[in-house]
Chains A and B, each alone.
Chain A
Amino acid sequence: MHFEYLVEGGNFSKAGFPSSQVKKTLKQLNVDGSVIKRTVVALYEAEVNIVAHAYSGVILVAIDTEKIRITLTDEGPGIPDIKKAMEIGYSTATPAVREMGFGAGMGLSNMNSNADSLDITSEVGKGTKVEIINFFGK
């Protein structure tokens, strides 16, 4: 099962729609509630990051019998120091992002604690790729 969603940078009014769709799909598939919550929280954090920092992004969702793999690829400024970005409290978010209730420097570490596997690669000036994998059996 595959899904694809486009994400517009800067458009907070639409943020959360892909995460909402994924949640509905996982519910229909009778995936365990705690796995659904971890997955959609991680995805939503990643989605908000694209809206907050990038120009545009694509979310690819692949679901098989044992896991969900979500790949978020954006065109944006990239992350110069991923290790530093993972630190709680480190943020480069604009005041506009903070007004929306985000940008406190907690997103990446929260993604990490809600994903069985999290892989972030980034190229400064080009963009960032985030891969989240969660297993249904956990």
Chain B
Amino acid sequence: MKISEIVKMIGGSVVAGNKNSDIEFEMAFASDLMSDVLTVKTDNLLLLTGLVNIQAIRTAEMSDIACIIFVRNKKVTAEMIRIATESKITIIQSPFSMFKVSGLLYNTGIKPVF
């Protein structure tokens, strides 16, 4: 599933990175615990989180995660956008809850890691 399709489905908007990216995402992981995200070995992963801070971006950077979905429209700072852009990470903001975004993505065939 491409970024543009994901954005449409979750009523989101792209606040950093390439909204026309050709990357096909097949799996997602939803967590507010970055320690947990750092243990995931899967590549090409979507990260869903309500933890909106610089360390969420850094965690994605280290884990080769190319797209983060921040749920509940939490405010993304300019510094977060700067680091994400530098690391070619796309940030999507969605007004929906983590549960709803997870459900919508799951319904279209996005697979869980575990």
Among B6-14, B17-25, B55-63, B93-101, the one that faces the other chain is B55-63
- Min CB gap A135→B, angstroms: 18
What is the 8 Å Cβ interface bit string for chain B, positions 43-70, against chain A (1 contact, 0 not)?
Answer: 0000000010111101101111000000
A106 B55 Cβ-Cβ under 8 A: no
Q: A33-B64, A37-B63, A37-B64 are in contact. Are A110 and B39 (CB under 8 A)?
A: yes
A20 B35 Cβ-Cβ under 8 A: no
List, sorted by A's number, 30 A–B pairs whose CB atoms are closer than 8 Å. Answer: A12-B55, A13-B79, A15-B55, A15-B58, A16-B54, A16-B55, A16-B58, A16-B61, A19-B58, A19-B61, A19-B62, A23-B61, A33-B64, A37-B62, A40-B62, A44-B58, A44-B62, A100-B55, A101-B32, A101-B35, A101-B51, A101-B53, A101-B56, A101-B59, A102-B34, A106-B36, A106-B39, A110-B35, A110-B38, A110-B39
